[in-house]
Amino acid sequence: MEKPRRNYKSGRPQHQKGNAGSRKAVKPKGGPSGKPEDSGLIRLNKYVANSGVCSRREADTYIAAGNVTVNDKVVSEMGYKVKPGDTVRFDGRLLNPEKKEYVLLNKPKNFITTTSDERGRRTVMELISSASKARLLPVGRLDRNTTGLLLFTNDGDLAKKLTHPRHGVRKIYHVELNRSLKDEDLKKIRTGLKLEDGPVVVDEVSYIKNAPKREVGIKIHSGRNRIVRRIFEHLGYEVVKLDRVVFAGLTKKDLPRGHWRHLTPQEVINLKMIQ
């Protein structure tokens, strides 16, 4: 069977659009000028929901309770519409109406985790260029030659939480070494090593089942730079391949290398529940 070709630019396959000529023209609603009514306006509950505070249904409850102000005035009217330039606050906190988006990429090799590169190298932003019109940023980073899961979002609060050491977000890597890992070195990693920038303790480490002993699985919550590679280099091994297979509970299931997908609502909820 012929192996499917990978598309490093498009992400998920898109359905082809039908023949535009076969569709009925839809007249825009509006006044005598033909311009749509309420152009640029957005319902207050949608504005609040897009800001990531809560769902639209929950926003109705908060609005009715007086938790939301527009231009420093409490608005409890259902169906109220916000105009461009209005200042909306929830319990005093300024809201940004940009819809929060979350995109998961299975990163291939030879792409660097940065938004741009003055040396002209390929960046991960090229891989998700068709995923969203919003300005998404990577959560953390993966080395150029490291593959696997990389999350992108415009939700700054969540990104900060997922990268802060206090939350100890778990990552699992599949490591392939240049030679078999000795049992004694496996025990050293389990016990904990002291690197040049301080001690490091892994959550779990083991040989990959039904694979040569040069392949190892390692679970770790440290976010220190190149930490997995440095653990094995400290013991005299070279990391030939490094693949992040789990990140904060997200997996690579049904996500081919070089492709992306949007997170499900439940996955977003799970991430926000991380303490």
CA-CA-CA-CA dihedral for 65, 68, 73, 75, to nearest 10: -60
Residue 151: which domain range? 100-168+253-275
Residues 143 and 267 in one domain: yes
Of 236 and 164, the one with more pLDDT: 236
For range 174-178, the mean pLDDT: 98
Residues 163 and 272 in one domain: yes
35 Cβ neighbours under 8 A, 6+ residues apart: 28
For range 191-197, the mean pLDDT: 93
Residues 176 and 219 in one domain: yes
Residues 87 and 123 in one domain: no
Bridge-based pairing state of the strands 93-94 and 88-90: antiparallel
For residue 173, the model assigns a pLDDT of 98
Residue 163 resides in a domain? yes
Q: pLDDT category, 108, cuts 50, 70, 90?
A: very high
Residue 28 resides in a domain? no
For residue 263, the model assigns a pLDDT of 97
Domain boundary among 94, 118, 134: 94
Whether 143 sits among the annotated catalytic residues: the reply is yes
Q: What is the pLDDT of residues 33-83, one digit of tens each?
A: 444 445 678 999 989 888 877 878 889 999 999 999 999 999 998 889 999
Identify the bridge partners of residue 68 per DSSP, sorted by sequence position.
Answer: 90
What is the pTM assigned to this prediction?
0.71
Residues 201 and 224 in one domain: yes
The terminus-to-terminus CA distance of the chain in angstroms comes to 46
Residue 17 resides in a domain? no
With a cut of 60, say whether residue 28 has pLDDT above it.
Answer: no
How many residues does the structure list for the chain?
275
- Specify the number of domains making up the chain: 3
Residues 194 and 239 in one domain: yes
With a cut of 90, say whether residue 228 has pLDDT above it.
Answer: yes
For range 159-174, the mean pLDDT: 91
- Residue type (1 letter), 157: D
Selected catalytic residue, list 86, 91, 143, 243: 143
Residues 47 and 154 in one domain: no
Which of 49-53, 92-96, 140-144, 155-159 shows the lowest per-residue confidence on average (mean pLDDT)? Answer: 49-53
For residue 7, the model assigns a pLDDT of 47
CATH of residue 257's domain is: 3.30.70.580
CATH of residue 86's domain is: 3.10.290.10
For residue 39, the model assigns a pLDDT of 63
Residues 145 and 188 in one domain: no
Residues 187 and 236 in one domain: yes
Lookup: tokens for 208: 């990959």
Which of 10-19, 87-96, 105-114, 195-204 shows the lowest per-residue confidence on average (mean pLDDT)? Answer: 10-19
For residue 38, the model assigns a pLDDT of 57
With a cut of 80, say whether residue 117 has pLDDT above it.
Answer: yes
